[in-house]
Amino acid sequence: MPLKNVATQSATGQGAAIKFSHIIGGRKVTPEVHEPVINPATGEVVGLMPVGTVDDLDAAVKAAREAFVLWRLVSDTGRQSACSKIAAKLNDHAEELARLLTLEQGKPLGGLGSRWEIGGAQAWTAYSGALDIPIKTIQDNNEGRVELHRKPIGVVGSITPWNFPVLIASWHIIPAIRAGNTVVIKPSPNTPLSTIRFVQLLNEILPPGVVNVVAGDNALGAAMASHRGIDKMVFTGSIATGKKIMASAAETLKKLTLELGGNDAGIVLPDANPSQIAEGLFWGAFINNGQTCAALKRLYVHDSIYDEVCGELVKLANTVSIGDGLDEKNVLGPIQNEMQFRKICELVEDARVHGGRILTGGTAPENSKGYFYPVTLVADVNHGIRLVDEEQFGPALPIIRYHDIDEVIARANDNQNGLGGSIWSSNVEEARKLALRLECGTAWVNKHGAIQPNAPFGGIKNSGIGVEFGEEGLFENTNIQVVIS
């Protein structure tokens, strides 16, 4: 098994590793306890994460509440200007952040990897930070004037995952501060270092206390959700954890934005051209090694072109180089952590036991230093096995044969998740009609997982509450006040 007992083996080198600090009230706060952050490609220690306590969290919330008093009074143009400077700062430090991100997350520097993620954070920051928050006039006549104002909420608590640490941190932080809120963010303990560095850079621009970061284990996240000094929680991650956050937040009736798991279905219609759609299908499923909430995770292909689509995907899979993300030739890196690695191994083996036909991949390399798993395509599977019914969140895609379009739409919707879905066809108009029948927050035609800063993004059913991005996402960081005169 790759990286067996890696944390114990690597900890002997902690003396040379850089100790990172919390950022609270604009200052570095270094706790007594640190834990190693491991490179999933090599097993080496990347740096040492500060392990925060409830006292650290209280201090961060106190700093955020004090900063909110003045930050909420900064004009819209002043906050827009600050966000513009943040985007420029990200550009100036892009390569530094990308390399740190690759070291702790594993994704490659090039392609759809770390440089792409940092570029995305910059683009979202520039777009979201420039949005307006206008006063809406509901009525203005001889009976009176009614105005709708959007005001900042207060302190926003953010908990981010390990798959896109910097990009998702920007999705949480920038709309919050653009609306006039202050932030306390807790990154995933698997990938905290790039987020800490990101917040350090933000603090070179923003007043002290506007954005604070406290790293630590999952217990710290639970304390955030129930904290009386936090007015809203934003969380991206698993459904199980999202439900716990929602339950913990109930006592204080916090506002919530939850972007949770997905088990996105893609449906290939019989008129699709297999060779033309293969690349879109492949990267819809395997971007970030499949470790993406809105990746294509169940592929339904009409019986008439099933074998041809499978063949095209196998050809693409066989061209992809997998290895250490610092090597520019590699297109995919390792799975980020041991828990996820073991889950992928279990799901693929379960599919094999239940008659799944492994078209390519399906076995982890022997004696690997990292959590490497090959791109795996599994044919001739159906509902009722784990690889289809559960969110795999890794480089394994089940390919399911179907005959009837109404039946396959029903099967695609027969899942607790509702984040994204896609229809693949040569007839775009017909595909759009079918896309509207999918029970999901975002439906794509002839693509999958393509997100953009001006298009609201969020899930239905167990995939979340609320949306991010665009005007709608920005407004979720505000309270409405109506003024009647």
User: Of 104, 117, 293, 345, which one is the catalytic site residue?
Assistant: 293
Instruction: Examine the residue annotation and report whether 345 is marked as an active-site residue of this protein.
Output: no
- Axis crossing angle, helix 114-129 with helix 76-92, rounded to the nearest 10: 160
pLDDT digits (tens, 9 = 90+) for 177-190: 999 999 999 999 99
In a domain, 313, yes or no: yes
Decide if pLDDT at 5 tops 50: no
- Residues 196-203: what's their mean pLDDT? 98
CA distance 376 to 19: 37
Q: Is residue 171 in some structural domain?
A: yes
- Please state whether beta strands 420-424 and 442-445 pair in parallel, antiparallel, or not at all (unpaired): parallel
So what's the pLDDT on residue 16?
67
Average pLDDT of 253-267? 97
Reply yes or no on whether the pLDDT at 6 is more than 90: no
- Longest CA–CA span in the chain (Å) reads 80
pTM exceeds 0.85 = yes
CATH number for the domain harbouring residue 157: 3.40.605.10
Continuous segment of H or E residues that includes residue 161: none
Q: Does 348 lie in the same domain as 321?
A: yes
Instruction: Identify the burial level of 228 via C-beta atoms within 10 angstroms of its C-beta, where 0-12 means exposed, 13-18 middle and 19 or more buried.
Output: exposed
Quick one: 200 and 324 in the same domain? Answer: no
* Average pLDDT of the residues in 349-365: 97
**How far is CA 462 from each of CA 56, 139, 172, 350, 418, rounded to the nearest angstrom?**
32, 38, 20, 24, 7
Let me know if residue 368 belongs to a domain: yes
35 in any annotated domain: yes
What's residue 8's pLDDT? Answer: 30
Contacts of 60 (CB under 8 A, 6+ apart): 22, 24, 25, 184, 212, 213, 214
SS3 52: coil
Q: How far apart are CA 476 and CA 466, in angstroms?
A: 8
DSSP state of 364: P
pLDDT of 306 reads 98
Tell me the C-alpha distance between 43 and 294, whole Å.
28
Residue 96 appears among annotated catalytic residues: no
Under 8 Å between Cβ of 394 and 289: yes
- Examine the domain organization and report whether 269 and 231 are in the same domain: no
Q: Is residue 20 part of a domain?
A: yes
- Cα first-last separation, the chain: 70
Each residue of 303-312: pLDDT tens digit?
Answer: 999 999 999 9
For residue 1, tell me if it sits in a domain: no
122-140 average pLDDT score? 98
Residue 6 belongs to some domain of the structure: no
3-state secondary structure (DSSP) of residue 56? helix
Taking a C-beta distance cutoff of 8 angstroms, is the pair 124, 172 a contact?
no
Specify whether 189 is located in the same domain as 214. yes
Q: What is the pLDDT of residue 126?
A: 98
The predicted pLDDT at position 319 comes to: 97
pLDDT single digits (tens) 228-241: 999 999 999 999 99
- The whole-angstrom separation of Cα 62 and Cα 155 is 10
Tell me: pLDDT of 321 over 50. yes
Return d(Cα 264, Cα 421) in angstroms, integer: 5
* Domain harbouring 392, CATH code: 3.40.309.10
5 within a domain of the structure (yes/no): no
- Minimal CA–CA distance to 179: which of 257, 253, 68? 68
**What is the tally of structural domains in the chain?**
2
pLDDT-based confidence at 105, cuts 50/70/90? very high
Residue 204 and residue 304 in one domain: no
User: Around Cβ 93, how many Cβ atoms within 10 Å?
Assistant: 17
Of residues 104, 259, 312, 390, which has the active-site annotation?
Answer: 259
pLDDT tens digit sequence for 57-81: 999 999 999 999 999 999 999 999 9
Q: Are residues 397 and 472 in the same domain?
A: no
Per the structure, the complete domain to which residue 30 belongs is given by 11-260+463-484
